[in-house]
């Protein structure tokens, strides 16, 4: 096995390997949630498109001196959200108006109904002074025509979908979703519906990885479990290389006599970029590339322990999938105070699950208690990883460490 890279070197190698991005495609708006935008979105016109009422009340014309308490005006009509007042409003008159309705020509103020004698009657009396411009959303005051609202690479969440709907974009141009083949390995692995014998484990890793793939916009294809046998393993790996953009294997990449994955990948024409990283968990991680006729194929070999495969996916595979779609890689933040459980010093960089919690000094990361990489439950309480430098001792009782954080997913906002 070649010299292990640092996590930061490995991440740079992975991102540098993304030579081309996924082609754009058009999808209906109902299918755009969770996709990555592949075009600029600009405002076709000003917003609001007309002057609009910001309150339920009365629209009226107000001069520079305003209108005084006690003044009474005749009510000559109304403007509703779907039925505007069709005439110009004369000075000295008022109309009933509802929130979001068009403010008619001639009017320049809206008085909340609570500051008047009410909607009943043919006149309205003012119970508070009125100034020009109050409670009116002016044409173009929130958005000018031609304003860029979203740029390519933006993750489309609920707010973005709402804006696209406001703009009438019923068809959206997004990056094609990368197809990710997942191959688990090992004679000890059985289906999740099976009752494993003492020497067996349920095949859970591919389910977690498939969910992680979907969370960052990819299409996951679980190809099954390859036994520790060269012919069957080769067939599944070849199928993944032929059918998908990215191949992720689980287990079989260390130095054991039955760790056959990296050798089989070499036979299939996959060039090794690195094999081994100075990270706990995840030391045996593999990354390589193949160049079949259909285009480049990115290959990751992840360790078989649940916490290892899950963590390495977030730190290395997720950034690649995001970069392929033109989105920004997972955010990294520095100088974040941490607390919670103490860690054990290690010769390798450690990625420790943590959760963001409020404190007197702002958001801090509370570390999850240490557990072995075979523990599938340790990740339940974390939304980020704290990176503990190699050989770093935990802080004393009165000290607070400051570490680098990595967001587990694109939806996590770091302080």
pLDDT, tens only, 51-82: 999 999 999 999 999 999 999 999 999 999 99
Please count the other Cβ atoms lying within 10 Å of the Cβ belonging to residue 111: 25
Cα(115)–Cα(125) distance, integer angstroms? 9
Is residue 376 pLDDT above 90, yes or no? Answer: no
Whose tokens are 């703009």? That residue is 167
pLDDT the model gives residue 387? 94
**Residue 266 to residue 53: CA distance in whole angstroms:** 68
Whether residue 410 is predicted with pLDDT greater than 70 in this model: the reply is no
**Is the pLDDT assigned to residue 371 strictly greater than 90?**
no
* Integer Cα distance of 168 and 160 in angstroms: 12
The pLDDT score that the predictor gives to residue 398 is 77
Rounded to whole angstroms, the Cα distance separating 235 from 264 reads 10
CA pair distance 263, 46, nearest whole angstrom: 60
In this prediction, residues 351-357 reach a mean pLDDT of 91
In this prediction, residue 136 carries a pLDDT of: 98
Across the range 328-351, mean pLDDT stands at: 87
| Cis bond before residue 281 (omega within 30° of 0) | yes
Q: Is 23 helix (H, G, I), strand (E, B) or coil?
A: coil
Q: Are 299 and 291 in contact (CB under 8 A)?
A: no
Contact 324, 36 (CB under 8 A): no
pLDDT at 189: 81
pTM over cut 0.85: yes
Grouping H, G, I as helix, E, B as strand and the rest as coil, residue 118 is coil
User: Which of 19, 117, 6, 99 has the alpha carbon at shortest distance from 59?
Assistant: 99
Distance from the first to the final alpha carbon of the chain: 38
- Mean pLDDT over 115-133 rounds to 97
Q: Phi and psi at residue 12, in whole multiples of 5°?
A: -65, -40
Q: Which of 73, 115, 120, 113 is nearest to 97 (CA)?
A: 113
For residue 294, the model assigns a pLDDT of 67
**Residues of the chain above pLDDT 90, percent:** 71
Residue 47 neighbours by CB distance under 10 Å: 19
Instruction: Calculate ∠ Cα 90-51-60, nearest 5°.
Output: 30
pLDDT confidence of 188, banded at 50, 70, 90? confident
206: Cβ contacts below 8 Å, ≥ 6 apart: 182, 183, 184, 222, 250
Distance (Å, rounded) from C-alpha 137 to C-alpha 54? Answer: 6
Does the structure show a pLDDT above 60 at 397? yes
For 138, the token pair is 């002016």
User: Residue 213 in contact with residue 171, Cβ under 8 Å?
Assistant: no
pLDDT at position 238 is 94
Domains of the chain: 7-22+177-324 (3.40.980.10), 33-46+143-174 (3.90.105.10), 48-141 (2.170.190.11), 332-407 (2.40.340.10)
The CB-side HSE value for 360 (13 A sphere, CA atoms) comes to 1
Instruction: Tell me if 135 sits within 8 A of 112, measured CB to CB.
Output: yes
Round to whole Å and give the CA distance between 389 and 404: 9
The whole-number pLDDT of residue 165 equals 97
| Three-state DSSP state, 33 | coil
């Amino acid at each position: 096995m070649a010299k292990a890279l640092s996590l930061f070197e490995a991440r740079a190698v992975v991102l540098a390997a993304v030579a081309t991005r996924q082609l754009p495609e058009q999808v209906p708006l109902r299918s755009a949630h969770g996709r990555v935008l592949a075009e600029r979105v600009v405002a076709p016109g000003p917003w609001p498109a007309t002057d609009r009422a910001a309150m339920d009340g009365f629209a009226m014309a107000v001069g520079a001196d305003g209108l005084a308490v006690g003044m009474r005006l005749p009510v000559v009509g109304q403007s509703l959200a779907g039925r505007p007042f069709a005439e110009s409003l004369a000075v000295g008159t008022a109309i009933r108006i509802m929130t979001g309705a068009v403010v008619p020509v001639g009017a320049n103020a809206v008085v909340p109904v609570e500051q008047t004698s009410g909607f009943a009657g043919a006149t309205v009396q003012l119970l508070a002074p009125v100034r020009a411009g109050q409670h009116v959303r002016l044409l173009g005051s929130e958005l000018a025509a031609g304003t860029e609202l979203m740029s390519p690479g933006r993750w489309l969440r609920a707010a973005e979908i709402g804006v696209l709907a406001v703009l009438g974009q019923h068809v959206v141009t997004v990056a094609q979703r990368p197809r990710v083949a997942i191959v688990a390995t090992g004679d000890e692995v059985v289906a999740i519906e099976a009752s494993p014998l003492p020497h067996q484990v349920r095949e859970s890793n591919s389910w977690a990885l498939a969910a992680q793939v979907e969370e960052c916009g990819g299409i996951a294809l679980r190809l099954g479990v390859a036994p520790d046998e060269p012919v069957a393993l080769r067939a599944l790996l070849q199928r993944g290389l032929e059918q998908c953009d990215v191949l992720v294997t689980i287990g079989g990449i260390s130095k054991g006599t039955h760790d056959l994955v990296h050798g089989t990948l070499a036979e299939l024409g996959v060039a090794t970029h690195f094999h081994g990283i100075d990270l706990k968990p995840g030391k045996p991680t593999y990354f390589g590339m193949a160049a079949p006729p259909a285009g480049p194929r990115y290959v990751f070999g992840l360790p078989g322990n649940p916490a290892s495969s899950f963590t390495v996916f977030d730190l290395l595979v997720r950034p690649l999938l995001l970069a392929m779609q033109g989105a920004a890689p997972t955010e990294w933040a520095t100088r974040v105070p941490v607390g919670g459980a103490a860690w054990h010093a290690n010769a390798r960089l450690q990625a420790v699950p943590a959760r963001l919690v409020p404190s007197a000094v702002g958001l801090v990361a509370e570390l999850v208690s240490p557990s072995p990489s075979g523990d599938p439950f340790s990740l339940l309480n974390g939304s980020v990883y704290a990176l503990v430098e190699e050989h770093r001792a935990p802080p004393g009782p009165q000290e607070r460490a400051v570490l680098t954080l990595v967001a587990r997913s694109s939806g996590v906002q770091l302080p």
